[in-house]
Amino acid sequence: MKTCQVLLKPGREKSVRAFHPWIFSGAIDRLDSELGKGDLVKVYSSAEEFLGIGYLNPLSQIAVRILSFRDEAIDAAFFVRRMEQAKKLRQSFVASDTNAYRCVHSEGDFLPGLIIDRYGDWLVAQFLTAGMDRLKLVAVEAAEKVFQPKGIFERDDAHARRLEGLEHRPQTLSGAQPPSEIEIEEYGNKFWVDVKRGQKTGFFLDQRENRKLIAPHAQGKRVLDCFAYSGAFSIYAARSGAASVTAVESQAPAVKILEANLKLNGLNGEVCRVHCEDVFDFLRKDTGTYDLIILDPPAFCKHKGQIHEAARGYKDINLNAIKRLAPGGILLTSSCSSFIGADVFQKIVFGAARDAGREVQILQKTSHAFDHPINIYHPEGEYLKGLLLKVW
């Protein structure tokens, strides 16, 4: 792939020198008029000093995403080095009774725009930017060599690809096509994952350590799992000896997998009751009292214009959850909205606690699991934030 040059405006190279991988369109002084979406570019300061190499999307506010701050070839060997580094990190932490985790986490693994998740013998990849989409063939070649899967299936994040002007096209990229549902294991718990139609790449891998965190607190307790999706939190709680688990999920396909996952783990409807309905409606009308509540909602805020509306939604569910907790109960509440920062989220939950008139303690602040590393120069990568609370 041809590599051209991009020249920054005077004084606009500061963030790049600080190793931030994004260059916004307003920082660019000159670029070749023939450059197009996804082209590789070398970035230079106004004094023509080399700053990094990345890929361009002139249609995006984030015009350039840096792949390397060294002047090196962006080829299959480059991707192999990056993926070997990512693999080595996972080998240090992944438990022997876990075969589902994130292998490559975009900027967090210094490959912006690329997500690769492992589900047993299969990889599920997302190419979220025009530049990474152009590099798909070399990325797949490297993933085959490093991770040696049975097959690689592409799932798109339709929203992210639409922003980049890319088509929606899930497909098998190499090897065998994955089955409709893949059985995985996570800390000894078993789950069916629909990698072709499920949310994200099929499973919420980022909450794995938080599921493990709450499991001991569920023993002998009445548990409410809101936005349960395929029931991962519910199954951790039930297998840890919860007195009862109430799982609430609005999407019928997810409820079907949730019920299959209960059977897969030898659990029945007497321990775990499943409600297929809207969580907001359930919380408003429910009169039950619980000892442990999990709130793991989808992203309420996908762009800055939704921040105020999202804040109201987060406050509403947290207020109603706090009201449902018995004295001494525990709430694990989280937000995966990247536009809602950790400080803002804590203030929202503070407001809910105040309106509920309850005494609340923060026991722990949580984030995504270690296989979703955060590039220290790219704080925007820390999208999942959570609070483990004690409510009196």
Per-domain residue ranges of the chain: 3-68, 76-179, 204-391
Do residues 106 and 169 touch, judged by C-beta distance below 8 A?
Answer: no
160's tokens: 């992210």
Do residues 39 and 21 touch, judged by C-beta distance below 8 A?
Answer: no
Nearest to 63 by CA among 89, 82, 35: 35
Q: Does 1 have pLDDT greater than 60?
A: no
Q: How confident is the model at residue 158 (pLDDT cuts 50, 70, 90)?
A: low
For the chain, the first-to-last Cα distance in angstroms comes to 61
Q: How confident is the model at residue 2 (pLDDT cuts 50, 70, 90)?
A: low
Mean pLDDT of 148-175: 84
pLDDT the model gives residue 119: 97
pLDDT the model gives residue 118: 98
Specify the higher pLDDT residue, 308 or 219: 219
| Catalytic residue ranges | 336
| Domain 76-179 homologous superfamily, CATH | RNA methyltransferase domain (HRMD) like (3.30.750.80)
pLDDT the model gives residue 228: 96
Q: Does 302 have pLDDT greater than 70?
A: no
Mean pLDDT of 15-26: 95
Q: How confident is the model at residue 357 (pLDDT cuts 50, 70, 90)?
A: very high
Instruction: Give the start-end residues of each E strand in the chain.
Output: 3-8, 22-24, 28-31, 40-44, 50-56, 62-68, 100-105, 114-119, 122-127, 151-154, 171-175, 182-186, 189-193, 222-226, 244-248, 272-275, 290-295, 325-335, 360-366, 385-391
Secondary structure of residue 56 in the 3-state scheme: strand
Q: What percent of the chain has pLDDT over 70?
A: 97
pLDDT the model gives residue 157: 65
Give the architecture-level CATH label for domain 3-68: Roll (2.30)
Nearest to 16 by CA among 60, 64, 61, 57: 64
Q: How confident is the model at residue 163 (pLDDT cuts 50, 70, 90)?
A: confident
pLDDT the model gives residue 58: 86
pLDDT the model gives residue 339: 82
pLDDT the model gives residue 114: 97
Mean pLDDT of 32-39: 81
Q: What is the CATH number of domain 204-391?
A: 3.40.50.150
Q: Does 8 have pLDDT greater than 90?
A: yes
Give the integer Cα–Cα distance in Å for 260 and 254: 10
177-211 confidence digits (pLDDT tens): 999 899 999 999 999 999 998 888 999 999 999 99
Give the integer Cα–Cα distance in Å for 127 and 112: 9
Mean pLDDT of 324-344: 93
pLDDT the model gives residue 270: 80
Q: Does 69 have pLDDT greater than 90?
A: yes
Give the integer Cα–Cα distance in Å for 25 and 64: 8
Q: What b/e sequence results for 334-371 when a residue is b if at least 16 CB atoms lie within 10 Å of its CB, and e otherwise?
A: bbbbbbbbeebbeebbeebbeebebebeeeeebbbbeb
241-294 confidence digits (pLDDT tens): 999 999 999 999 999 999 999 999 999 778 899 999 999 999 989 999 999 999
Q: Which residue has the tokens 């400080």?
A: 343
Q: Is the dihedral of CA 56, 62, 67, 68 positive or negative?
A: positive
Do residues 183 and 155 touch, judged by C-beta distance below 8 A?
Answer: no
pLDDT the model gives residue 365: 97
β-bridge partners, 119 = 100, 122
Q: Does 125 have pLDDT greater than 60?
A: yes
Q: Does 72 have pLDDT greater than 60?
A: yes
